[in-house]
Amino acid sequence: MTTVFHELLPESYLLLLTPGRPSGPEFALDFSLKCACRSGKTAVWVDCELLLALSPEAARILCDYYHKLQEEHKQLVVVHASDEVKQELLNWHLDPDLCFAPTLIDAAWQSGQRLVA
């Protein structure tokens, strides 16, 4: 199970994933992504910095929401992903438009958002 923290930013919705119990349903992740989709923001940033790996269920949920957001002309950006997290997501045969960003600043740039100092 992944614990999810979220923050509504001016032009995007940020989710921070943290490790939880190794087994169990990913209700928090699904609920948080559903809220992110309804937020009206054009980009959802999923920060995986605290994760070493994703459960198969978490990867499937992220992939499902990636496709849902794409249909709505919105973007899912995976930030601070370890090689294991990237590989788990790529194993789901996502099309090459899935965006990985090394930092939140890069996520903003990938999303085409202006940064205000």
Domain count, the chain: 1
Pairing between strand 13-18 and 3-8?
Answer: antiparallel
pTM value is 0.88
Q: How far is residue 13's CA from residue 20's CA, in Å, rounded to a whole number?
A: 21
Q: Which range of residues forms the domain containing residue 95? A: 3-110
Q: Tell me if 47 is assigned to some domain.
A: yes
Residues 6+ apart with CB under 8 A from 67: none
Taking only the tens place, the pLDDT of each residue in 94-115 is 666 788 999 999 999 877 754 4
Taking only the tens place, the pLDDT of each residue in 81-94 is 999 999 989 887 66
Q: How far is residue 107's CA from residue 111's CA, in Å, rounded to a whole number?
A: 6
Q: Any idea what the CATH number is for the domain that residue 90 is in? A: 3.30.750.24
Cβ atoms of 2 and 32 closer than 8 Å: no
Taking only the tens place, the pLDDT of each residue in 46-64 is 999 999 988 889 999 999 9
Q: Tell me if 96 is assigned to some domain.
A: yes
